[in-house]
Chains A and B, each alone.
Chain A
């Protein structure tokens, strides 16, 4: 059995060091690993990332993976933000994946920020102006990289897909429908279904709903902090029916770094 703590959209500001430390101090009491679903910072400033990273100090040794969100790009310093989290021991995923040996289980996390476009039936198309093509191609290229990252971890006992943007409409319930194309893309649900992952986590949709499913039936959880209304959510997965897993003594083994 594996217990995963997850939260997105923390929007850490430089005024929040004690808040961040307090929010994450209890994670080892509840979970074996922590997943951060983007929008880690409010304005994408390295100083904000450092406050968050410092707040994770007590979790040293615990497997932590994360993706960036749109807020983390706001100041065009996303590379510095990413590096600060990596220095703090967070496995930052941009289409890649990581495998953690946890007990006798190989637990894989594949991740990407994701992007917009919308959902099956009404997804934007790469047609017309270069700006429109660029919008759609950004999403497509992220999906292609993620496809490779998921292929790398085929055969893991358990695979979690970590996103910032939403992969399905269901977890957007509560958001204005007009902005759905800016909240996610079905391309990532299609990958989750094709690779038969066990769980998809995302953030970004503050007014959305926690629980949904891909068209193929895979559970999707919107862990935006404003949605879960707590410091982090905890999900228990047990691919063995209770005979394996637990603990996080083993080292992380990145399957693909980018």
Chain B
């Protein structure tokens, strides 16, 4: 079994370099056989690909994908810069 701290880094590297995700800014934590992934991605397709990539790198751990899709709403206000 891979040491969890190494395994979480292997997963993080894969999420950065695998073209299906390509997001080096995601956070990955492996605790008690479970991979917790957090952060923000631009689309639902990328969010779903996280599960696939993590499972390929670490097939023995459950994926807890708490990544959100970035909000793109119209701004509700503006800031005046002095």
Say whether A associates with B: yes
Q: A230-B75, A235-B78 are in contact. Are A16 and B19 (CB under 8 A)?
A: no
Residues of A within 8 A of B45 (CB): 13, 15
The distance in angstroms between the C-alpha atoms of A237 and B80, with both chains bound, is 6
Of B22, B40, B46, B73, the contact of A226 (CB 8 Å cutoff): B40
User: In this assembly, does A229 line the interface, its C-beta being within 8 Å of a C-beta of chain B?
Assistant: yes
User: In this assembly, does B71 line the interface, its C-beta being within 8 Å of a C-beta of chain A?
Assistant: yes
Task: Give the contacts of B9-47 with A (CB-CB under 8 A).
Answer: 19, 22-23, 25, 27, 39-43, 45-46
User: In this assembly, does B3 line the interface, its C-beta being within 8 Å of a C-beta of chain A?
Assistant: no
The distance in angstroms between the C-alpha atoms of A30 and B79, with both chains bound, is 12
Question: Across the interface, do B42 and A230 meet the contact criterion of CB distance under 8 Å?
Answer: no
Residues of A within 8 A of B40 (CB): 206, 225-226
The distance in angstroms between the C-alpha atoms of A23 and B42, with both chains bound, is 12
1/0 contact string of A54-82 vs chain B (CB within 8 Å): 00000000000000000100100000000
Question: Across the interface, do B72 and A236 meet the contact criterion of CB distance under 8 Å?
Answer: no
CB distance from B63 to the nearest CB of A (A): 20
User: In this assembly, does B81 line the interface, its C-beta being within 8 Å of a C-beta of chain A?
Assistant: yes
Count of interface residues, chain A, beta-carbon cutoff 8 Å: 35
Q: A43-B19, A219-B81 are in contact. Are A30 and B75 (CB under 8 A)?
A: yes
The distance in angstroms between the C-alpha atoms of A230 and B71, with both chains bound, is 5
Task: Give the contacts of B43-81 with A (CB-CB under 8 A).
Answer: 43, 45-46, 70-81
Residues of A within 8 A of B72 (CB): 19, 22-23, 225, 230-231
The distance in angstroms between the C-alpha atoms of A43 and B19, with both chains bound, is 7
Question: Across the interface, do B76 and A230 meet the contact criterion of CB distance under 8 Å?
Answer: yes
**Main DSSP-derived SS at the B contact region:** loop
CB distance from A212 to the nearest CB of B (A): 13
Question: Across the interface, do A13 and B78 meet the contact criterion of CB distance under 8 Å?
Answer: no
Q: A42-B42, A230-B72, A230-B73 are in contact. Are A30 and B78 (CB under 8 A)?
A: yes
Q: Which A residues fall within an 8 A CB radius of B?
A: 3, 5, 10-13, 15-16, 19, 22-23, 26, 30, 42-43, 71, 74, 198-199, 206-207, 219, 221, 225-226, 229-238
The 8 sampled A-B contact pairs (Cβ below 8 Å) are A30-B75, A43-B22, A231-B73, A232-B75, A234-B75, A234-B78, A236-B81, A237-B80
A230-B74, A230-B76 are known; give 4 further A-B pairs, CB within 8 A: A11-B23, A13-B43, A19-B43, A234-B79
Q: What 8 A-B pairs are tightest by C-beta distance, nearest first?
A: A234-B78, A226-B40, A11-B42, A23-B72, A231-B72, A206-B25, A236-B80, A26-B74
